[in-house]
Structure 1
Amino acid sequence: MKINEATALVTGANRGIGRALAKALLERGAKVYATARRPETVDLPGAHLLALDITDPQAVTDAARSAGDVDLLVNNAGAGFGGTLLGDPDSLRAEMEVNFWGTLSMVRGFAPVLAANGGGAVVNIASAASWFPLPGATGYAASKAAQWSMSNGLRHELAGQGTLVTSVHLGLADTDLTKGLDLPKVDPAVVARATLDGVEAGRYEVVVDDIAALFKSSATADPEDFYTRLAQLI
């Protein structure tokens, strides 16, 4: 699809990757609905602001009704609470509620909208952690693995209405959430550019940076080899 002819909705557009995506969409000529739980925190001149909590089914229904011209759904909103699989189960459930169930709720709510507008595209911002978990964030990784599998499944289920499903994977983005981590990070603007280029090219999957490429290429190898290589990289 052509971004300059698109009408896009971006979740979690108030900061980080979501804001970068909404900004890049505007710069490329798209109409943009920028959503957040608190839309007053969104600073994007030219965007149409909508209040949206993706874990609230009624809010998703209302958004689909308000933005009935959308043909590009960008599921960026996500959560990472540092939950571990043997740790606080409430953190695990919360991460899965946002990253898997919230994302799926958006796709279910907007699938008829996309169909009515010619098919369009769905973008799910996933993670390198979709393929391998890192210590201290195993719950997040499980939720992102589920999101990646969901994207692959939705690609089959939405093919009949002509909807492209693109899954985007990266290591750490340079955002407020990661400012305390002394690790390689990718600029959110780079993520946005790679994502939109991927959509225009009809890509099923976008691997943004070297970290994500390492995770992806190691997915079928011995995990011991992967963790040894990762330790050398970071």
Structure 2
Amino acid sequence: LFNMKCGVKGSLTQEVIDEEMSNLRDLNKRDWYTEAFQITKKIEWSYERQPAPRKRPSKNTRDVATLYWHIYFDKQIAEKVTQGLFERIGKIQEKLHKKESLDENEQSLFEEIFEKAESTDEDTPVSYIINNKKVDEKLRYKGYRVLVSNEISDARKAWCAYQERWKVEDTFKTLKSRLGCSRNRVSDNESLNGKIFVQFLATSIAMVVRARLKKYSEECRKSDEPALIYDSDGTVLGTL
């Protein structure tokens, strides 16, 4: 299961999103479980079985695999990113008006979407306008996610599997960042053992919570109980 980058210009990922962009606004495509619009495309992928240097590919050296491209659109994420960009643009406009210097990030955004306004009066101070087309291009693929798998054909199952895998990554982040386990220097061995023991307890509890949430979700499908929206264990515990 691969998480594809949506920001690479001219990529197959963007081509697939472009093909389904209008369909991903259809409320009939919104999954109540993941709370995201989703579509699955089945693509026959032709690839070189054993690439050999200085040899041209042929039918005898190529294989075909079935890949499932799961495309998701989260409107809330797209709106959040859009609002954030508008706030950054507003801050730049404010600084330009007050003739204040821009920081590195603001300067980069300024060069990307601002351009000089045309003026025939040489005495008029230089003014800048926003290139709306460039703003639209910057926001075009926000809120989208594309997961590709050669085994998982169901979009919801692929989404949940990716969320579960991300939990593993988040655990490593906890060890490295929050508990400082990326640094070998500690006050003493007892301190290191304490950190690892606390993380062991926290991870164990998290596993128990997620196992019970999964069991509850499966039981809901077999009964009339209200279904649990799939979410992070931290969010669920916070809500409770």
Q: TM-score, normalised by structure 1?
A: 0.24
> Larger radius of gyration, structure 1 or 2?
2
